[in-house]
């Protein structure tokens, strides 16, 4: 029997047929954090679905016309879908098992199977994005997701990397208004394989406790720090820890912008701009707030 809780990058379909992608492993009471990605119009590349969320980033997410909920614990609003309005819950791990049991019917599925068999030497893995929804087209990306600490670190440590995706660097610079996306690129996470674009994503293998801490906004800050991130930097939201003292007494960086995940993994000096939050246990900086977009630039 499949799981009845939600993980980051699951897909849900509401009773009107709208398609959403789950954000985070939080499972609040009565709803889920999820953003609207597709609506069915009978037109478009995605087998009749039109993509609503066309470019990633919190600055684009907040423009989507869907329900948002103010979460007092986090002093921020998140896009949500009520549990009572969910008609289907699509799980990446179930979809991948279904694909692996059948013969490849096209080049995208053939490439996915090849990559899984050759490079993903873990069991806890799935496929998300348009392949999970089964509305992919000939130029769709392949989005693989690996669950849990061991699987994530085993893959990162063993995979030599993809052929570099230069288009990702150009698009990231334009979308986020930065000029250092080349420093954020990690060819173990995304790139070209047999002529196709593949992303490898990571998610925790357990649901999270909702509202475990209470935080309040303080204001925009920018500072330099020595940061270090392990497995928590690979999942969403990404977390790294600040080593040593700093002027704002910040102990943790939390990024809701997936583009900075690879920079938070490992140990380095970085310049950080974001929203200072005073929580019950510590001071943290959020990168990816609706009012303070922020960035993490490796030095």
pLDDT in tens, 148-195: 999 999 999 999 999 999 999 999 999 999 999 999 999 999 999 999
- Give the model's pLDDT for residue 2: 72
- Give the model's pLDDT for residue 210: 86
Are the C-beta atoms of 283 and 296 separated by less than 8 Å?
no
Domain with CATH 2.40.50.140 in the chain: 215-298
- Give the model's pLDDT for residue 1: 46
Are the C-beta atoms of 295 and 287 separated by less than 8 Å?
yes
Retrieve residue 145's tokens. Answer: 């997701």
For 46, the 3-state DSSP assignment is strand
Domain with CATH 3.30.460 in the chain: 92-203
Q: pLDDT by residue (tens digit) across 32-82? A: 999 999 999 998 788 889 998 888 888 888 889 999 999 999 899 999 999
Q: pLDDT by residue (tens digit) across 263-294? A: 999 999 999 999 999 999 899 999 999 999 99
d(CA 155, CA 203): 13
Strand partners, 142: 198
CATH superfamily name and code, 215-298: Nucleic acid-binding proteins (2.40.50.140)
Q: pLDDT by residue (tens digit) across 213-259? A: 899 999 999 999 999 999 999 999 999 999 998 999 999 999 999 99
Residue ranges of the alpha helices (H) in 3-91? 58-61
- Give the model's pLDDT for residue 55: 85
User: Quick one: average pLDDT of 84-106?
Assistant: 93
d(CA 218, CA 185): 31
Q: How confident is the model at residue 131 (pLDDT cuts 50, 70, 90)?
A: very high
d(CA 191, CA 73): 37
- Residue that wins the pLDDT comparison between 95 and 211: 95
Closest C-alpha to 158, from 109, 118, 202, 201 = 118
Closest C-alpha to 115, from 42, 34, 59, 192 = 192
Task: State the helix-helix crossing angle for 92-100 and 107-119, rounded to 10 degrees.
Answer: 100
b/e 195-216 (16+ beta carbons within 10 angstroms → b): ebbbbbbbbbbeeeeeeeeebe
Q: pLDDT by residue (tens digit) across 1-25? A: 478 999 999 999 999 999 999 999 9
How far, rounded to the nearest angstrom, does the alpha carbon of residue 269 sit from its chain's CA centroid?
A: 23
Closest C-alpha to 296, from 233, 247, 217 = 233
Strand partners, 188: none
| Burial classification of residue 127, based on how many CB atoms lie within 10 Å of its CB (0-12 exposed, 13-18 middle, 19 or more buried) | buried
Identify the CATH assignment for 92-203 out of 3.30.70, 3.40.1620, 3.30.450, 3.30.460: 3.30.460
Q: What is the helix (H) or strand (E) element at residue 158, kind and residue range? A: helix 149-158
How far, rounded to the nearest angstrom, does the alpha carbon of residue 57 sit from its chain's CA centroid?
A: 10
d(CA 95, CA 274): 37
* Low-confidence winner among 118-122, 133-137, 184-188, 238-242 (lowest mean pLDDT): 118-122
* pTM, rounded to two decimals: 0.94
Are the C-beta atoms of 296 and 183 separated by less than 8 Å?
no
User: Quick one: average pLDDT of 191-202?
Assistant: 97
d(CA 52, CA 59): 14
β-strands 49-51, 31-40 pairing? antiparallel
């Amino acid at each position: 029997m499949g799981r009845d809780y939600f993980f980051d990058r699951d897909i849900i379909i509401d009773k009107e047929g709208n398609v959403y992608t789950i954000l985070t492993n939080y499972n609040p009471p009565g709803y889920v954090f999820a953003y609207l990605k597709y609506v069915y119009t009978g037109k478009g590349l995605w087998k009749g679905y039109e993509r609503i969320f066309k470019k990633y980033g919190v600055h684009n997410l907040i423009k989507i016309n869907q329900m948002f909920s103010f979460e007092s614990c986090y002093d921020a609003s998140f896009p949500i879908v009520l549990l009572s309005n969910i008609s289907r819950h699509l799980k990446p791990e179930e979809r991948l098992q279904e694909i692996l049991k059948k013969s490849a019917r096209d080049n995208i599925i053939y490439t996915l199977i090849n990559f899984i068999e050759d490079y993903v030497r873990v069991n806890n893995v799935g496929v998300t994005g348009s392949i999970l929804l089964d509305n992919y087209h000939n130029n769709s990306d392949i989005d693989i997701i690996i669950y849990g600490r061991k699987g994530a670190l085993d893959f990162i440590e063993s995979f030599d990397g993809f052929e570099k995706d230069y288009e990702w660097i150009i698009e990231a610079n334009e979308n986020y208004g930065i000029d250092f996306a080349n420093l954020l690129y990690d060819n173990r996470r995304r790139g070209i394989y047999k002529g196709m674009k593949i992303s490898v994503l990571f998610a925790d293998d357990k649901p999270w406790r909702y509202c475990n801490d209470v935080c309040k906004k303080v204001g925009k800050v920018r500072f330099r720090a020595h940061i270090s991130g392990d497995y928590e930097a690979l999942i969403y939201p990404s977390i790294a820890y600040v080593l040593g003292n700093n002027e704002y007494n910040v102990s943790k960086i939390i990024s809701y912008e997936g583009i900075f995940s690879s920079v938070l993994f490992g140990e380095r000096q970085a310049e950080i701009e974001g929203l200072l939050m005073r929580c019950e246990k510590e001071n943290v900086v959020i990168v990816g707030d609706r009012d303070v977009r922020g960035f993490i630039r490796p030095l």
